[in-house]
Structure 1
Amino acid sequence: MKFITAVALLALMLTSCATKNTEFAIIKGQFTGEKEGREIHLCKVEHGKTNKVAVTTLGNDGRFGFAYAIQEPGLYVLNVVWDQALKTVKQDHNLKRVYLENGVELDVKISDGTYELMASNSSQNDCLAQWNAKVDTVFSYSHGFSYNVLDYTNFFPVLPEFVNAADAFKATINTGDKHFDDLMALMVNTDMQLSALQFIYTPRIKHPERKDYPEYYDFILNEGAPKDEQLLELANGADYLRLYTMYAVMSMPEKPARDEWDLVCLNLIQNDLLKGYFAISLLNKFRSYDSEYLSFREQVEPYMQNTYLSEELKTFEMGIRQFEKGAEAFDFAGKDVNGKEHKLTDYKGKLVYVDVWATWCGPCKAQIPALKELEKQFHGQPVEFLSISVDKPKDKQKWMDFVKENELKGVQLMADKAFDSDVAKAYGINAIPRFMLFDKDGKIVTIDAPRPSDDKINEFLKQYL
């Protein structure tokens, strides 16, 4: 990463005024809006997503600048962030896109959610700025669910107009740079198709049925299968891999089984390198270095076709090896409804089936009937059912009332700091419900066990009894 100070940037930009710049791409700009606590981040697009490479703060008048040495021409994104929280101030969907190579000089005007190219010596950026402006309206429908209440009755009637306008724009792309022109055409297609998919997979007041979908969704299904490696040069490339495969599988007359879903998605992608990137995005589904993970790795290893993918796979494996079957379990603790502390090691000599849940979690509560039935089936056998809540401390009474009112059995505990508690940190828990199994010696069997509602759970527990 290269972080360039405002002073150094100013000196470089002044120098570029006197002589033709060939060593850097230079962006100077004006930010309008609340300036206190704002930073501007320059993010490089690589591997289908953005990566921060330079940061500058705002002057008192809102002016800012970057001088950045470009190794290879490509897309970059300007993001406005809080200097402490390091997140976008307002979701603008990565539409402050620029195309940089050494010698490019841009003058831009931006706010939290807008981008305007004021001056440019680059035909590529002139073309890109026009498309940024055009697609912003589409994105306001499809990506703007966090600050508008539009539903499909608003979006579907105007979608054909947006598609026609995108096709018309695509016909005008002709900068003389073939690589850029091809990338730009792919960007137009991807922006439009991702917009349509993003719309149906985000929260709305009212959701359509399949019969309500415009014809464009059939076009996406038939023509949109990811196959062009240039997708990795787009900031939303990884998002498109994920949403297209989800949509294609959801459109199948017969849905695959849960444990086959990922590989079905993988096979929908028509390029082996892109399959590798999609496979990497699935790694966070695995918690343990076990037979399930090893089977997955065996199937995706042929697609790890560059150093980035191989290193990502290696780094992930180093992280989960600590949860390998047979490793010593982390001894977490929690308190029951009477305030008594219980530790995992208190139950050595028994299998311990752990449920990490919360009273606010719908999928967690949906597992309770099956969990109660499982407890009945294994009553009197050396297996302990231990549930630990990650409700916030302020909701302790709510948790206690829920336990009593629903007559929850087994060992009912509450963690001390919700998702900041030891059990969540030790086992990488950032989503619930999570079920784990520990053997009679207090060692890990798996930190991602089958759910009580899973048909496999009975045989799974019997295997370790």
Structure 2
Amino acid sequence: MKFITAVALFALMLTSCVTKESNYALINGQFIGEKEGKEIHLCKVEHGETAKVAVTTISADGRFGFNYPVDKAGLYVLNVVWDKALRSVKKDHDLKRLYLEDGVELDVKISDGTYELLASNSVKNDVLSEWNTKVDTVFSYSHGFSYNMADYTSFFPLLPKYVDETAAFKAKINTGDANFDELMKLLVETDMNASALTFIYTPRGKHPERKDYAEYYETLLNEKSPQSARLLELPNGYDYVRLYSMFAVMSLPDKPTDWNKAAMENIPNDLLKGYYALNNVSKFRTYDDAYVAYKAMVEPFLSTPYLKDELKAFEMTIRDFEKGSPAFDFAGKDVNGKEHKLSDYKGNLVYIDVWATWCGPCKSQIPALKELEKKYHGQPVTFLSISVDKMKDQQKWKDFVKEENLQGVQLMADKAFASDVAEAYRINAIPRFMLIDMDGNIVSTDAPRPSDEKANELIKKYL
């Protein structure tokens, strides 16, 4: 994640407040408390979690600020962080939440554990600030013994009151912006539900049996499943997906044989299923049968480029690609835009040529490659060439394929040397030739070139 260091940008804060620029959101802040070794992070909500996008220091008189270019309106969080250890000070339960969009101007006062909106030109932030203050009491109970040592005998009797207050607050949200109002209502609901679940899963002096649970937990189980993809716009959105799925599985009468499958079955939204699937791959340490089975189960729900790319990136960390191991199933598109995967050709030997139109040594192998293709015509051998040309040269690649009458399967990778095939097989120089056996396992990730007789011998050996 790229982020902005605000030290230079806000040097004027040492003597004055930050001045407004057009198309920016402006935050003028005052920090109260010990300032030594601390900095302020501005974090953006992405994929149901927060990610740092800007950093500023705290001046001697406690001032800080951000003049941030907002590409899309949404929720942000201010975090106080010890700059040396980069350890968040979490006494405020991440409740320094803001709604930023072009033109917003906010004056705030914060400490390690408090947040106060002093002035605002945004009714949306007025509403959000009011809710932040109201829900802070609930979070103090729910978010663990670091904040409140109370056990369920203290918290459960208060739940009906908190639930009623949540419903009343939701009912009065009406800023005139339907998009924000929908998001704010979802935040209010999610805060309440996540708090109830967080409480039962954090360390306490005394934990309840299921028979001791407050009535609200049955309502939560039966009526509050994570259904809206807009949960991914909330700082605690994914956390609620995780908490709810865990609660739902633990509420089943019988222990499931496959926890993750059961958890995903209790997440109604397919996109949220994909995020659950991605966030649970970290339990795998090796590329084994268990991982392959898990991947096959979850791939239908990895419906966005982000989810697909993140799974590929993780897979790179557990793959060695030694001889005999399953080949990485890369993909590319042909001249007509149709996607092909390596696995589409399982049952054939696959001789792979990674190349580019700008690569002289690559093009010098084309005559020998054509001869090799003729030699094995009609036999179960697929010759698959995948170009790592840049996308701006896609038409050049298409023209070259046509002009040179290239045969076999001709594909183009999507991100040149940053594409999955190049990253998976650690390709930083071309041409690179590889051979995959009929079962989809690696024979060689550095096979002989077509001009070398050893290439022919290797193919014959595995036919």
**How far, CA to CA, are the matches of 1:249 and 1:157 in structure 2?**
25
1:313-332 Cα shifts (integer Å, max 9, x gaps)? 000000010397978xxxxx
Q: Secondary structure at the match of 2:10?
A: helix
Match for residue 172 of structure 1?
172
CA contact (8 A) 1:287 1:323 kept: no
Report the Cα offset of residue 170 of structure 1. 0.6
Once the two structures are overlaid, the 10-residue window that deviates more, 288-297 or 60-69, is 288-297
Once the two structures are overlaid, the 10-residue window that deviates more, 293-302 or 139-148, is 139-148
CA contact (8 A) 1:143 1:195 kept: yes
Q: How many residues align?
A: 323
**How far, CA to CA, are the matches of 2:154 and 2:316 in structure 1?**
48
Q: Secondary structure at the match of 1:206?
A: coil
Match for residue 10 of structure 2?
9
**How far, CA to CA, are the matches of 1:317 and 1:286 in structure 2?**
9
**How far, CA to CA, are the matches of 1:38 and 1:217 in structure 2?**
39
Match for residue 187 of structure 1?
187
1:273 lines up with 2:274 in the alignment: no
**How far, CA to CA, are the matches of 1:197 and 1:325 in structure 2?**
47
1:307 equivalent among 305, 308, 315: 305
- Scaled by the length of structure 2, what TM-score is found? 0.67
1:289 lines up with 2:287 in the alignment: yes
Report the Cα offset of residue 21 of structure 1. 4.2
Alpha-carbon spacing, 1:326–1:218, altered in 2? closer, same or farther (3 Å): same
Report the Cα offset of residue 244 of structure 1. 0.3
Matches within 5 A, 1:312-327: 312-322=310-320
Report the Cα offset of residue 302 of structure 1. 1.1
**How far, CA to CA, are the matches of 1:172 and 1:7 in structure 2?**
42
CA contact (8 A) 1:289 1:325 kept: no
CA contact (8 A) 2:144 2:203 kept: no
**How far, CA to CA, are the matches of 2:227 and 2:34 in structure 1?**
42
1:189-213 Cα shifts (integer Å, max 9, x gaps)? 1000000000001110001111111
Q: Which amino acid aligns with 1:296?
A: Y
CA contact (8 A) 2:56 2:65 kept: yes
1:241 lines up with 2:241 in the alignment: yes
**How far, CA to CA, are the matches of 1:29 and 1:64 in structure 2?**
5
Match for residue 121 of structure 1?
121
Matches within 5 A, 1:70-81: 70-81=70-81
Match for residue 450 of structure 1?
none
1:328-365 Cα shifts (integer Å, max 9, x gaps)? xxxxxxxxxxxxxxxxxxxxxxxxxxxxxxxxxxxxxx
Matches within 5 A, 1:55-454: 55-257=55-257, 260-322=258-320
Matches within 5 A, 1:22-37: 22-37=22-37
1:48-78 Cα shifts (integer Å, max 9, x gaps)? 0000000000000111000110100000000
Q: Which has the larger radius of gyration?
A: 2
CA contact (8 A) 1:149 1:204 kept: yes
Report the Cα offset of residue 94 of structure 1. 1.2
Q: Which amino acid aligns with 1:183?
A: L
**How far, CA to CA, are the matches of 1:95 and 1:226 in structure 2?**
21
CA contact (8 A) 2:44 2:76 kept: yes
Q: Which amino acid aligns with 1:216?
A: Y
5+ unaligned residues in a row in structure 2: which ranges?
326-463
Q: Which amino acid aligns with 2:246?
A: M
Q: Which amino acid aligns with 1:5?
A: A
**How far, CA to CA, are the matches of 1:176 and 1:138 in structure 2?**
28
Q: Secondary structure at the match of 2:261?
A: helix
CA contact (8 A) 2:140 2:147 kept: no
Alpha-carbon spacing, 1:249–1:205, altered in 2? closer, same or farther (3 Å): same
Report the Cα offset of residue 15 of structure 1. 9.9
Task: Provide the identity percentage.
Answer: 62
Report the Cα offset of residue 42 of structure 1. 0.2
**Cα RMSD over matched residues?**
1.9
CA contact (8 A) 1:6 1:65 kept: no
Alpha-carbon spacing, 1:176–1:22, altered in 2? closer, same or farther (3 Å): farther
Alpha-carbon spacing, 1:10–1:54, altered in 2? closer, same or farther (3 Å): same
Q: Secondary structure at the match of 2:23?
A: coil
CA contact (8 A) 1:10 1:65 kept: no
Q: Which amino acid aligns with 1:302?
A: P
Q: Secondary structure at the match of 2:197?
A: helix
**How far, CA to CA, are the matches of 1:49 and 1:248 in structure 2?**
22
5+ unaligned residues in a row in structure 1: which ranges?
328-465
Match for residue 39 of structure 2?
39
Report the Cα offset of residue 172 of structure 1. 0.9
- Scaled by the length of structure 1, what TM-score is found? 0.67
